[in-house]
A = this chain, B = another copy of it.
């Protein structure tokens, strides 16, 4: 059995970050209140001495708990908050499969799809730069893996929304902002609609 959850008191957040949105979305779904501290990544507010004392890796999101511990890494935060809830499977293999897709998200998906979106939105990167071309190809590879998996499934693990879906939804549903065309991935498009229809839901723009 999971130990009792220490209440979260503060989410170090950024509205432009899909990783941070994962945390806002699970907190909203669970009805857990939490103060939000918005940090400006482009102004390096995640690299100040004060913030580095909380998360030495200098990134948002990070979740501060009532005992003062700060937990970084969006997918670790999702796991922490979801243990013992319907958003984290009980079956041992399904738990590992949820992690499988969350590690896939951080290794094969986010570094390509999220990073291209960030460069496009915030640094005016153009679509022909070699580093963008390479990341876009890898991003489409990740979307193809997702599309194949979703062709005969409603959600990534088991038959209900889990934190694996939340992790992959965060940047997939705004991939077009990085110039990705999802029309060739119909199973992904149908899944995006399915995830957004699971109440309670909030959009990425909602603080």
A45 at the interface (CB under 8 A from B): no
A65 at the interface (CB under 8 A from B): yes
Assess whether B80 is in contact with A93, with CB atoms less than 8 Å apart.
yes
Assess whether A92 is in contact with B4, with CB atoms less than 8 Å apart.
yes
Q: A93-B3, A104-B73 are in contact. Are A99 and B79 (CB under 8 A)?
A: yes
This chain: copies in complex: 2
Contacts A/B (CB < 8 Å), 20 sampled: A1-B1, A6-B93, A57-B108, A57-B145, A71-B93, A71-B100, A72-B104, A73-B100, A73-B104, A74-B103, A75-B99, A76-B99, A76-B102, A79-B95, A80-B95, A80-B96, A83-B92, A83-B96, A99-B99, A103-B103
A residues neighboring B (CB under 8 Å): 1-6, 56-57, 65, 69, 71-77, 79-80, 83, 90-93, 95-97, 99-100, 102-104, 106-108, 110-111, 145, 148-149
